[in-house]
Structure 1
């Protein structure tokens, strides 16, 4: 081989460039910085001619990179374009390619859940042979062929059967390949040649159909010294016909006859056995990471992990751990197991203590044998980058009685050498955490492998943040902005905003090493899951950042964001008064509205000082929400104290602008919902209107391009490192750029009926969902269908009449018929996936639904101290035996085409 010519058919615009990279020195050895530029031929065609000194001895895998004028790179999706020489003596190889846009629907079906679970059985083995003189190899993809089907090729010449569907050229594909291919000899044919791909049923030996659209045309010439490989992208076949249904349930919420007061990884297998009978194809769980910070119930919050990698000991199946060697010890706990398992909710503290104590006993006797096993050695080698720091962190947490590593007398700053010495000096104590994580790894792997073998996809959850007192933050504090707190702006579910307490990410630092931490995190998720949900994906565009002196999320602002310069107020003829806009606005009217007659004088005397103009200011000891919180933390928790504390919080947040850090009074961010503040309401109408116009520009116009670029620098690169199906939780205040960026990155959106993304509508109808989306009537952060039905009677009535199309008065309580109607709306949605909370499905059956509707709720986002302890009220075994319910659910799923 002397020359390879690449031709890429792709429409570009002025300022764009195309590069190629692959696993060969001539293509930069897969290093994007060494990618080779293509030459511009026209707006529709780029090319590259490479001279090769010697024969190519192996298959070359490659892809293209589009470099935009703004410096952001788009990558040709996939890793399946290849060059195989096959002993050819041709001196020239022409490779004609098609750009594979990540957002193409078909690419979804090459992700892990489809390729390895849902569509794996569809592969049909076809034997084909190439002609002795192969001038052209045509390659094309079609992911949704049925079992027994293959692609075929027909065209306007003798070599392509002259359009005779009785004898088309059959194409073949190996199980580990994505492209169907066929070799042809076109040396005796005249160009151009029209051709099309079709579908052929090899079991019935009959042609099924042509692909849609116009004929394809091959413009070429034949030379005895040249061979052509044509990558034709996707066959134009229906691509939105596959649909699936899933169930969402936290692992801790599962209840089986044998579980120990909480759901366990092993219970996933019992769950799979049940849902197989219903036609459901996916199980979605909440994060399963270790959250053990205080050894109290406050650790029940699954989104505040002390490690983004470690699994939670809560999910350990003690029977599997004990084996025969500890059967007697486990039997002594049987009475307590039965008691805990019969409780209506999870007793987090008791269950965790029993499990941790038992794991320690087993480790003391069996740890050495486990460490000597090949399985452990392999696990340790693959995970030591996080496992060793995590284990040392846990040891130091318990030794010092706190996860606040900055307060530790030693090792408060992570040092690799010091930690290695610590580990060497405390092998037995620290080894307990190696042992625990290995056993959890084995149990989770076994459970998810069981699901996969039964045709069920398991979908995990990646939290947007990590705890500021975590092994991750301790090990690499430079990856985080420790002086800020992540959260969310106010919405209908949390009117004061949300403060999650996590540090925000230092994305610039993460970008410097190619997002190595994130890539390791995705790789570890891939060990267990087929798909994953990215919690609060908007955080990859911008994060709601709250200063440490604030308690409520309402005191934050978006980062990054283009602030308002003081000159903009002047240019818009807006009267500007720093003190009036930035400091809390407090006068007699505000105080009376906030505290009423009962508390106003007490508040004035204890917390405020009067200014010369008659207004009030907070005393320095109480001028931040954090100071106020600390003051009341030492007092008795009664109604009056809580009322005054919240009133002071409201005074502190009664501002119009937040001054940007280190800005010398030049740059400002608007406080969210500025127009709801009494500070704003006390301004004159003209100033209100002028400020509102600038406010709208700040939040809804000026930031969009910045946020688009921010996300495009992260999401596509992270998506490329995993073949899991990625779904984004794109809820909240959604920037206009989000849908397009998610499409470019090939991410599924989340669509919720009672949270429409279009403000013009009160509800979202599942019929209007895009195909690449997940639809659901509720999530773990919301009330269930039945719970929501009782929250707002007027809204429920409108939903009943307008969304369900029912006449008359809505039922007071959500009966089974109404729940079924809502479930069916989602099942018949055009969305790829519809996923239901388990509680919502059980609401369809009078005998299975829970009597206490309020007990169905998993989380209340507005309550940062919520106890996560929801458990199923029936066992999985009882569900499996509920023949009538399972039959009806299966009928619904099957009839909807899922």
Structure 2
């Protein structure tokens, strides 16, 4: 079989084009040639399987190295024709993502049934194959058709179009006998009724013209693939955000579960909402205490938390006495206003162990389980072994295990063999994950049937005491700490404690670790939120000796040499720039009456009129260790004061090159900056703004474009990015190019120097919300800062008079409707903010509705709905109001 590829692509000197071609995972590269650097041709001869598609992408190479390739999720493709067709003439254009790529995602397409391409009889000597991309037709009971000016194309009669085949999701092909067509002819793509075949929609563009195409016998001509558009209004939808653990039903067991998630889908359907967003649901079990409630610190990126199993879907306990005792305890823990993490999990795990004893062997021998195990063994076996060893040794920190601390696949396989005495305990975790898989898959299917988008959450970090850190340590910098620079939530920055990624290693296998992770998510979800998408550009890396985040630096980054620093007019001594600035005035400001105690115990004169920290207190971790267990007020004040002394520096030393420096983040608020004269302060601020807002834009753009195209196009899910915080200018460039939805929050405006964002101006490719799980609810925010609230009430809402002390229902309803009217593709509001519109039903405890406080590193994640889902479904007035708000905002 011979293939001739033709494409127009303007290259620069030293670049060339090639075709990356594959069939049945067999890869070929076709080099292309050009006479003018713009029109490229590539020819190749291969033996291909006649029934499998030939998929390919174009790529640019420079000196033998690929520097760019098409990154859209949908490759170019065609199918071999009849036996006579031995030469394929392929016209193409470079294509990354289709326009309106969101329409092609599983969030908006879930009714695909694969079709075999049309294949003409072996008597046909010359063929033309039309190829088109068109999403969403199957969902609406339609197919793509072709109609035109000649008899073979129906002569423009609406009842005689040719039906195309959806050979891949949203990819349509039709092969015709070239001799049956009258040249030149005009044609259009149309949407036709799936059953009658009649035209229901016409392309909104002038007729396409097909010129005379002379073909030899045995040739198939493939004109350029085209994207087909109909005059359809963009589908904007509304939804609800709530953690699964926060759900409450009459039958749940102190914590929300996957059965409750089905009830939430019923409520969403009842109110006209088409999206449900949840927090991470991965297993976080480390100590068995409430500290495991933090959902972003999981022990596995694949395994789900056992607390989400709906016990109602499992067999009842045969022991009547035990069943009665369980039911009494269940009702007690389920009626608590907040989740009691320890009680709820202990109760559920006790029940699960009893059920496992009853039916475990039978389930593990079932065909369905064996299929599940076969498809998930790569992560499931290490996870189950990890849980067994964690339970046996009393710690998830594998570094402290007396055996198996270094992962060995063969040893773990032997540990997990059915004949091993540990097998029954290990297989318990197989059983749990199988039940979680079955139940969440059922929720996913249920939601899809109702047209509801189910949106998951992918945390940016992993725990250093996790299966992944144990099994795949080469993917991480385990001596690093990931976090975030200071923001409105945390003046000292955030130290999440997660290891940072070894991107250089990940790049070598084309980010397989991430692609596997995303693929697992795609089994259940049709959309996902990338937690802290900025981490794919650069991560805030904090040295392991720090507690706060102020001494961090971006990684990767371009640190400054001393010569560069001097070029900004900042001629200072290196020790002054990098050593903590401590003098008597600083001590009085920080410690007050405790100053003398600090002089005597923690610092020593440095011979320059100031002080240096004693070696045993010169890092925050050393200070933390010294004050461990001391919780009195004086000790806490001393500890925080010493932390601030340690971070009182102008520059921090680069982690990799000790000769280079980074300006310390937010140092303008500290006393060391005040020691500079006005000229030095101006020079530093010039350097600071250049470093943080200009120096890295192109560099970080390239870093993100190495990773995000591969990852975001590895599944059909809709991609949403949490792009809050200190956002580099290059982040919107990448998100627009890859069509990743941004996150828009009115009280966190993207434009500098604005107090509030403007929902009416949000981009279409965005998720609009009133607040996130890291923020107070709207009612909580309303009472936090009266000055800011008054400005919002008068200048943004354009109301007059005194502002209400508490946000009334009518005002909350206005805010909700204002967000629903935004141009954003998704408007997903916290459940608490939906409830705020009804003064009779909303929770009177405003502060109790908050999910997380980022400034508190040991926050207890325990909020639950104050109503049951069964009650909510019966609230006809509330539900009708929500439905009307959504309909009136033209969301559907």
The TM-score, its normalising length taken from structure 2, stands at: 0.93
- SS of the residue aligned with 1:713? helix
Structure 1 alignment gaps of length 5 or more: none
Q: Which residue of 1 aligns with 2:298?
A: 305
Q: Does 1:435 align with 2:423?
A: no
User: Which of 586, 596, 602 is the aligned partner of 2:597?
Assistant: 602
1:229-264 per-residue CA deviation (whole Å, 9 max, x = no partner) reads 224321243466111111111010000000001101
Cα distance in 1 between the residues matched to 2:15 and 2:780: 52
Distance in 1 (CA, whole Å) between partners of 2:726 and 2:8 is 38
Q: Secondary structure at the match of 1:109?
A: helix
Q: Which residue of 2 aligns with 1:82?
A: 77
Say if 1:150 and 1:200, in contact at 8 Å, map to a contact too. yes
Instruction: State the shift of 1:649 in Å.
Output: 0.9
Quote the Cα distance in structure 2 between the aligned partners of 1:446 and 1:160. Answer: 44
Question: Which of residues 166, 170, 174 in structure 2 aligns to 1:178?
Answer: 170
Cα distance in 2, alignment partners of residues 223 and 511 from structure 1: 45
Q: 1:575 aligns to what? A: 571
> Higher mean Cα deviation, 340-349 or 743-752?
743-752
Residue 824 of structure 2, aligned match among 809, 826, 831: 831
Match of 1:677 in 2: 670
- Which whole-Å CA distance do the structure 2 matches of 1:98 and 1:115 have between them? 25
Secondary structure of 1:467's counterpart equals coil
In the other structure, the counterpart of 2:315 is: 322
Whether 1:467 and 2:463 are equivalent positions in the alignment is: yes
Mean Cα displacement is larger for which, 844-853 or 765-774?
Answer: 765-774
Is residue 2:128 matched to residue 1:136?
yes
Matching residue within 731, 735, 741 for 1:748: 741
Stretch moving more, 288-297 or 698-707: 698-707
1:313-351, Cα deviation, whole Å (9 max, x unpaired): 111222323336466533321111111111110000111
SS of the residue corresponding to residue 859 of structure 2 reads coil
> Residues 195 and 44 (structure 1 numbering): CA distance in 2 closer, same or farther, change over 3 Å?
farther
Q: Is the 8 A contact 2:109 2:136 kept in 1?
A: no
Assess, with a 3 A threshold, how the Cα gap between structure 1 residues 398 and 222 changes in structure 2: closer, same or farther. Answer: same
Does 1:645 pair with 2:645?
Answer: no
Is the aligned partner of 1:47 residue 2:41? yes
Q: Over residues 327-385 of structure 1, what are the superposed CA-to-partner deviations in whole Å (9 max), with x where a residue is unaligned? A: 65333211111111111100001111122222222223432222211122122222222
Asked whether the equivalents of residues 72 and 713 of structure 1 are also in contact (C-alpha less than 8 Å), the reply is no
Q: Give the deviation of 1:127 after TM superposition.
A: 12
Query: How far apart are 1:628 and its partner, in Å?
Result: 1.0
**Structure 1 residue aligned with 2:21:** 22
C-alpha contact 2:53 2:80 (8 A) present in aligned 1: no
Q: Paired residue for 1:895?
A: 888
- Match of 1:449, SS? helix
Which of the residues 822, 829, 841 maps onto 2:815? 822
Change (3 A) 1:727 1:30: farther
2:342 to 332, 344, 349: 349
Structure 2 Cα separation of the partners of residues 199 and 376 of structure 1: 42
Matched residue, 2:389: 396
**Cα pair 2:19 2:30 within 8 Å, conserved:** yes
Alpha-carbon spacing, 1:80–1:851, altered in 2? closer, same or farther (3 Å): same
- 1:95-143: CA deviation from partner (whole Å, max 9, x where unpaired): 22343322x34332222222216xx69x999999999786423222332
1:37 paired residue among 7, 31, 37: 31
Moved more, 5-14 or 551-560: 5-14
What pairs up with 1:550-569 in 2 under 5 angstroms?
A: 550-569=546-565
Map Cα deviations across residues 626-684 of structure 1 (whole Å, 9 max, x no partner): 1111111132x1222211211111111111100113534x2011111122221011111
**Alpha-carbon distance in 2 for matches of 1:326, 1:248:** 39
The worse-fitting range, judged by mean Cα deviation, of 654-663 and 78-87 is 78-87
Deviation for aligned residue 1:16: 4.6
Give how far 1:840 is off. 0.5
Q: Which residue of structure 1 aligns with residue 582 of structure 2?
A: 586
**Corresponding residue for residue 260 of structure 2:** 267
Deviations along 1:844-885, whole A, 9 cap, x unmatched? Answer: 111211101101110111111000000000000000000001
Matching of residues 604-683 of structure 1 within 5 Å: 604-635=599-630, 637-661=631-655, 663-664=657-658, 666-683=659-676
The 3-state SS of whatever aligns with 2:109 is helix
The CA distance in 2 between the partners of 1:233 and 1:471, in whole Å, is 45
Q: Given the alignment of the two structures, is residue 533 of structure 1 paired with residue 529 of structure 2, yes or no?
A: yes
Determine whether 1:516 maps to 2:512. yes
- Deviation for aligned residue 1:488: 0.3
Q: Is the 8 A contact 1:850 1:873 kept in 2?
A: yes
Residues 705-854 of structure 1 aligned to structure 2 (within 5 Å): 705-854=698-847
Q: How does 1:203-352 map to 2 (within 5 A)?
A: 210-213=202-205, 216-225=208-217, 226-238=219-231, 241-323=234-316, 325=318, 329-352=322-345
Q: Is the 8 A contact 1:340 1:347 kept in 2?
A: yes
Distance 1:311 1:186, change over 3 A: closer
SS of 1:555's partner is coil
- Structure 1 residues 572 and 451: alpha-carbon distance in aligned structure 2, compared to 1, 3 A threshold: closer
Mean CA deviation greater in 275-284 or 445-454 = 445-454
Distance 1:87 1:845 in 2: 66
Q: 1:63 to 1:820 in 2, by over 3 A?
A: farther
Whole-angstrom distance in 2 between the partners of 1:411 and 1:713: 35
- Tell me whether 1:106 sits opposite 2:100 in the alignment: yes
**Which moves more between the two structures, 150-159 or 512-521?**
150-159
Moved more, 233-242 or 840-849: 233-242
Give yes or no for contact 2:480–2:543 (8 Å, CA) kept in 1: yes
Does the Cα contact within 8 Å between 1:459 and 1:531 map onto a contact in 2? yes
Answer yes or no: is the 8 Å Cα contact 2:183–2:212 preserved in 1.
Answer: yes
Q: Structure 1 271/129 Cα, relative in aligned 2: closer, same or farther at 3 Å?
A: farther
Partner Cα separation in structure 1 for residue 632 and residue 116 of structure 2: 73
Alpha-carbon distance between aligned partners in 1 of 2:407 and 2:608, rounded to the nearest angstrom? 52
Change (3 A) 1:12 1:59: farther
CA contact (8 A) 2:283 2:305 kept: yes
Please tell me whether the aligned partners of residues 538 and 554 of structure 2 are also in contact (alpha carbons under 8 angstroms): yes
How many residues are paired up? Answer: 883
Measured in 2, the distance between the counterparts of 1:447 and 1:430 equals: 27
Task: From 389, 407, 416, give the equivalent of 2:409.
Answer: 416
CA RMSD of aligned residues (A): 2.9
Would the aligned equivalents of 1:486 and 1:543 in 2 still touch at CA under 8 Å?
yes
Q: Deviations over 1:796-828 (max 9, x none)?
A: 222223332333333221111111111112212
Distance 1:733 1:446 in 2: 39
Instruction: Show structure 2 runs of 5+ residues with no match.
Output: none
CA distance in 2, matches of 1:59, 1:175: 11
- Taking the aligned partners of 1:44 and 1:170, their CA distance within structure 2 comes to 35
Q: In 1, Cα distance between the equivalents of 2:602 and 2:487?
A: 29
- Alpha-carbon separation, structure 2, partners of 1:125 and 1:801: 62
SS at match of 1:591: helix
Cα distance 1:105–1:864, how it changes in 2: closer, same or farther (>3 A)?
farther
TM-score (normalizing by structure 1):
0.92
Partners of 2:159 and 2:374 lie apart in 1 by 55
